[in-house]
Structure 1
Amino acid sequence: MLHRAGAVVAATAAALVLGAPSAHAAPEVAVREDGRQLRAIELARQVAERQQELAALNRRADAHDRALIGRKELLARYGYRGDPDAVRVVLPMASYDLSAGFGLTGPLWEAEHGGQDFSAGAGEPLVAVAGGVVTEVAYAGPYGLRTILELPDGTEVWYCHQTDVTVAAGQQVEVADVVGSVGSTGNSTGPHLHLEVRPAGGSPVDPMDWLRAAGLTP
């Protein structure tokens, strides 16, 4: 009998050490084992969910990187080669020749030339040099078909002599969004963009100086 009792005690102790319940284990041992199994199952579930979340984050990051690569190439067409997320100002068009500059006088203008001319083929896309709100789209006498874009600091950017437009008054646009296309409406001797920059909506300043101050090279 003593030998048999000793064997039972030894078997029970082994079960406690190994963590596996035996037929002779106390009820509280089985409860602890069930608790460990439940915690292990819950931990495995949490790990699986975390792995799924990380995989989703990686997919979104990859998509963002691909979008940035495309965005970077687009912005480079308009003179900006920095961080796409930091862009503030771009050139108004991708392909052009500089023609009449700011401050010129002569028979072509009633007063000093108040902007910079960018000669290009008719229909060449024009883009927003910065994010802002379109405040006017209308024919404006010698300016022809004109779009006025107001920037957050109150600066007005005028796009003149357009052949058509793709925006409407009151519309919010982002930097490099297409706003219209080159034309020869109004007082014009050929297709070109007459670009004016007017801080606070006042008198015009040299657009070339304004673009260079933004880090661009027209």
Structure 2
Amino acid sequence: MSSVPFRAGLAATVAATAVALTLGASAAHAAPEVVVREDGRQQQAIELARQVAEREQRLAALNRQADARDRALIGRQELLARYGYHGDPDAVRVVLPLASYDVSAGFGLTGPLWEAEHGGQDFSAGTGEPLVAVSDGVVTDVSYAGPYGLRTVLELPDGTEVWYCHQTDVTVVVGQEVGVADVIGSVGSTGNSTGPHLHLEVRPAGGSPVDPMDWLRDAGLAP
């Protein structure tokens, strides 16, 4: 009886086994490779977010330096005029929260962007644009506040709370007294935000919010 068919069959069996082992090894390695690729993408996303945050911080710092130089060069009256006040500097009570902006989403709006009615007024502005105290007051809170992002709460002498939300950074601390038009932080896009802007809320006696535009107009400003 010839051994040729037996050898051919054995060779075929060995080849088939090798192929099966190779395919099995490839399948076994497929999942770890996918995990590695996903981990790599996550690390890249984290690193990109870190770089963006660092650039925003540097931009905010440069804007503060430029603002400080401007304040040193111009008079009090011209400075207040940048923030919407054109009267006697000694009689100023309220100014606008920032000098350069576009009015965007208004008070009381509803829609998919908000969990409830929009409780403030949005002012679109560039990242790092300085934010100022709208009046004399005391800083009562500086924190990350969920959808509000990085938020500063300023309490005015009459008990009104003014919320500055979505900031990139803050230059004040809790308990600090600030004067009207003092810089307190910078525009950002933290929290529930689709782009850099200030979400400003005005809450008389710390209660429910009112329309910031009406409040600013009642103070003699034209936002």
Q: Same fold per TM (> 0.5)?
A: yes
Pairwise mapping of residues 74-93 of structure 1 onto structure 2 (< 5 A)? 74-93=79-98
Instruction: For residue 202 of structure 1, report the CA deviation from its aligned partner.
Output: 0.1
Matched, 1:182 2:192: no
Give the AA of the match of 1:103: G
Query: What residue in structure 2 maps to residue 207 of structure 1?
Result: 212
How many residues were matched structurally? 151
Pairwise mapping of residues 10-21 of structure 1 onto structure 2 (< 5 A)? none
| Distance (Å, rounded) in 2 between the aligned partners of 1:112 and 1:177 | 30
| Distance (Å, rounded) in 2 between the aligned partners of 1:202 and 1:154 | 10
Where 2:75 maps in the other structure, the secondary structure is helix
Give the AA of the match of 1:190: G
Q: CA deviation digits over 1:75-116, x for unaligned, max 9?
A: 000000000000000000000000000000000000000000
Give the AA of the match of 1:121: G
Runs of 4+ in 1 over 2 A off after TM superposition: none
Structure 1: segments with no counterpart, 5+ residues: 1-66
Give the AA of the match of 1:176: A
Give the AA of the match of 1:157: V
| Distance (Å, rounded) in 1 between the aligned partners of 2:157 and 2:91 | 16
Pairwise mapping of residues 104-123 of structure 1 onto structure 2 (< 5 A)? 104-123=109-128
Instruction: For residue 207 of structure 1, report the CA deviation from its aligned partner.
Output: 0.1
Query: What residue in structure 2 maps to residue 138 of structure 1?
Result: 143
Structure 2: segments with no counterpart, 5+ residues: 1-71
Aligned alpha-carbon RMSD (Å): 1.0
| Distance (Å, rounded) in 1 between the aligned partners of 2:121 and 2:93 | 20
Instruction: For residue 147 of structure 1, report the CA deviation from its aligned partner.
Output: 0.0
State the identity as a percent: 89
Query: What residue in structure 2 maps to residue 164 of structure 1?
Result: 169
